[in-house]
Amino acid sequence: MSVELNHSNTSFLDDILECIENEDAQRVYPLLEHLPDINAVHPELGIGVIHAAAAIPCTRFTRDLFRNLIKWNVDVNSTTGEGYSPLDIAVSNDRLQTTKFLIKHGAQPTDRFYPDQHQQEPQILLT
């Protein structure tokens, strides 16, 4: 379940999303530790931390970030304001390693990309 932040926390989440985009590990972890809800969704952008991470290329930064997000009980099936899951974002951005990681940690496919093969398509991605 995604929780929307109030306006006073919006700039805080802006900073976190910027750190993720820039792969700034030094700044992102202290900020994440103070985020009231790891599943929070930016009220204007409609995305959360896991959605931003799913969109960027898989690097050491990204792998470490995902491991920490899982430790902090991030919802791997949370959706953006437009209904996209982290798995949808990873698949649409051709992030195979991220896709595999998300599936391994419980991400479920949505009808957005796999309407006829609800449980089959991600398995094809893993072969």
What residues does each domain of the chain span?
3-125
How many angstroms from the chain centroid is the CA of residue 28?
Answer: 14
Q: Which CATH architecture has domain 3-125?
A: Alpha Horseshoe (1.25)
Q: Largest Cα–Cα distance in the chain?
A: 45
pTM over 0.85: no
pLDDT at residue 121 in the model: 52
Integer angstrom CA distances of residue 26 from 7, 38, 53, 65, 82: 25, 18, 16, 12, 30
List the one residue out of 80, 93, 90, 85 whose CA is nearest residue 111.
85
**Average pLDDT value for residue range 101-121:** 72
**Could you read off the pLDDT of 12-70 as tens digits, one per residue?**
899 999 999 999 999 999 999 988 899 999 999 999 999 999 999 999 999 999 999 99
